[in-house]
């Protein structure tokens, strides 16, 4: 039997997938070399100092759930769990145009009774809406057992007889937030995968969590410190130009600088478009990689702004029927006291406004503040729009088969990222799970 290799594993990309893979391998005693194109790392979950606000801003606001078991395991390993605020029980507050509130407060009951009770007692829903919620709850276990990736979320909700009011207050905001796509096109199979983990296991699984420290501090800094303490090499600002192969075996990489690194084990944890650019020869024509090329993307726009006072008292709130799907009080979440209040808005699947100038987005924000918080509209002081044109892959119905497995046709090359076939939509949990899956495959 051949001796197991002890050469370092090359990991391309220091986003959540790459960092979680590296940490898991280092935890198992393997040496890794992390190559990251940027000088900061973090991928699409990073933060940066902003001169205008004098604060460290995230490139996007991220919600976590109690069912993010891989993410929580990763954070425990790097000793960073204290950077997240978790609810005791699932609680979601929504506001309708005109200022009327809706509250979903789930009691301390076993799952899924906690959600059923929360929906049945939700203020702002009528008798027919609550009957529809009961119907969905009764059918849910059967639905998650036979997911159909060709069915859209809209079709699925219609088939389950969900009312417009219940959709506006619960289903549609959850779809926008977890799938980053329109319910009219997004896959019901991907949505039911979320529902199964969040609402059919334990009550704690459905709790929402919000990072209370900047994302780079939560994920990146702690990971890099963990890796360096174990003798692993992290090379920031080192973009990879090409994957080097011989036949069907990976042999290393060529950096943009021209330097060549030899390796027989590589984990690629870069976005799909960047991964395809690394392939050479006839590999781009391989069916697995052609499927990756068919994946579409969905953008997110994040609006950061300071106001003289917060228009709501909760850490975050949903805006029913608004393009500004969620609004977060970052000052409250981070425990900042005094001065202007820092808020953040997330516009999911922002295809309609991704190319709008900052001035137009600020006017959109001002109009929505007037529409949802009449009589107590805060004054916008500082404003910044952050656009992620390729924030996630699109979860359009029928697209899951295009996502690749961890192990592909090139021997020694493993794929990781929120876009690989994890059984989940492209979330933080999917990214970390993919990293752990790739590390497991390497160790095997």
Q: Which residues contact 85 (CB under 8 A, 6 or more apart)?
A: 209, 210, 211, 212, 315, 333
Mean pLDDT over 416-424 rounds to 97
Average pLDDT over the chain, rounded to an integer? 93
Q: How far apart are CA 438 and CA 433, in angstroms?
A: 9
Domain ranges of the chain: 9-45+213-295+396-443, 103-206, 297-393
Would you say residue 252 has pLDDT above 80? yes
The domain 9-45+213-295+396-443 is placed in CATH, from the list 3.50.50.60, 3.30.1360.180, 3.40.50.300, 3.40.50.10540, at 3.50.50.60
Compute the Cα dihedral for 95, 98, 99, 101 and give only its sign. Answer: negative
pLDDT per residue as tens digits for the range 267-293: 999 999 999 999 999 999 999 999 999
Q: What pTM was computed for the model? A: 0.94
pLDDT per residue as tens digits for the range 334-377: 888 778 999 999 999 999 999 999 999 999 999 999 999 998 88
Q: Which residue has the tokens 């290393």?
A: 252
CATH superfamily of 297-393: Protoporphyrinogen oxidase, mitochondrial; domain 2 (3.90.660.20)
pLDDT computed for residue 18 by the predictor: 98
Would you say residue 4 has pLDDT above 60? no
Q: What percent of the chain has pLDDT over 90?
A: 82
pLDDT per residue as tens digits for the range 212-240: 999 999 999 999 999 999 999 999 999 99
pLDDT band per the 50, 70, 90 thresholds, residue 386: very high
pLDDT band per the 50, 70, 90 thresholds, residue 6: low
pLDDT per residue as tens digits for the range 18-41: 999 999 999 999 999 999 999 988
pLDDT per residue as tens digits for the range 310-330: 999 999 999 999 999 999 999
Reported for 112-116, long-range contacts at CB under 8 A and 24+ positions apart, including other chains, are: 112/137, 112/140, 112/199, 112/200, 114/89, 114/90, 114/203, 114/206, 115/90, 115/199, 115/206
> Higher confidence at residue 27 or residue 2?
27
CA dihedral (23, 28, 34, 40) in degrees, to 10, reads: 20
pLDDT computed for residue 141 by the predictor: 87
pLDDT computed for residue 54 by the predictor: 80
pLDDT computed for residue 2 by the predictor: 38
pLDDT per residue as tens digits for the range 117-165: 998 888 888 999 999 988 988 888 898 888 889 999 999 999 999 999 9
Cα→Cα distances 377→60, 95, 347, 359, 383, Å: 24, 14, 20, 19, 16
pLDDT band per the 50, 70, 90 thresholds, residue 116: confident
């Amino acid at each position: 039997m051949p001796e197991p290799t002890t050469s370092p594993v090359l990991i391309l990309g220091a986003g959540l997938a790459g960092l979680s893979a590296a940490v898991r391998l280092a935890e198992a005693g393997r040496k890794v070399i992390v190559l990251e194109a940027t000088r900061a790392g973090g991928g699409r979950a990073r933060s940066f100092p902003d001169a205008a606000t004098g604060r460290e801003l995230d490139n996007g606001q991220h919600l976590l759930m109690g069912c993010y078991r891989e993410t929580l395991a990763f954070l425990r390993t790097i000793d960073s769990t204290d950077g997240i605020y978790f609810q005791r029980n699932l609680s979601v507050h929504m506001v309708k145009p005109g200022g009327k509130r809706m509250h979903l407060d789930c009691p301390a009951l076993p799952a899924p009774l906690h959600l059923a009770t929360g929906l049945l007692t939700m203020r702002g829903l009528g008798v027919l809406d609550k009957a529809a919620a009961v119907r969905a709850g009764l059918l849910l276990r059967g639905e998650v057992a036979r997911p159909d990736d060709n069915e859209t979320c809209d079709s699925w909700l219609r088939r389950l007889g969900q009312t417009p009011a219940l959709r506006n207050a619960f289903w549609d905001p959850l779809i926008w937030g977890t799938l980053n796509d329109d319910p009219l096109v997004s896959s019901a199979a991907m949505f039911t995968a979320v529902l199964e983990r969040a609402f059919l296991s334990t009550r704690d699984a459905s709790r929402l969590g919000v990072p209370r420290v900047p994302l780079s501090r939560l994920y990146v800094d702690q990971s890099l410190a963990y890796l360096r303490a174990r003798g692993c090499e992290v090379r920031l600002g080192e973009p990879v130009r090409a994957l080097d192969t011989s036949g069907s075996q990976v042999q290393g990489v060529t950096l943009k600088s021209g330097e060549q690194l030899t390796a027989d084990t590589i984990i690629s944890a870069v976005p799909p478009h960047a991964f395809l650019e690394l392939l050479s020869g006839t590999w781009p024509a391989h069916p697995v990689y052609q499927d990756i090329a068919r994946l579409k993307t969905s953008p997110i726009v994040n609006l950061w702004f300071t106001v003289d006072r917060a228009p709501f008292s909760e850490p975050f709130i949903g805006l029913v029927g608004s393009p500004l799907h969620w609004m977060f009080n970052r000052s409250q979440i981070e425990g900042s006291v005094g001065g202007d209040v820092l808020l953040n808005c997330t516009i999911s699947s922002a295809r309609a406004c991704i190319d709008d100038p900052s001035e137009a987005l600020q006017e959109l924000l001002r109009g929505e503040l007037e529409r949802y918080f009449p009589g107590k509209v805060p004054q916008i002081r500082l404003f910044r729009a952050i656009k992620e044109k390729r924030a996630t892959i699109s979860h359009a119905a029928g697209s899951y088969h295009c996502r690749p497995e961890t192990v592909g046709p090139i021997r020694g090359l493993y794929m990781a990222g929120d876009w690989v076939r994890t059984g989940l939509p492209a979330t933080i949990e999917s990214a970390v799970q993919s990293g752990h899956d790739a590390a497991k495959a390497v160790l095997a």
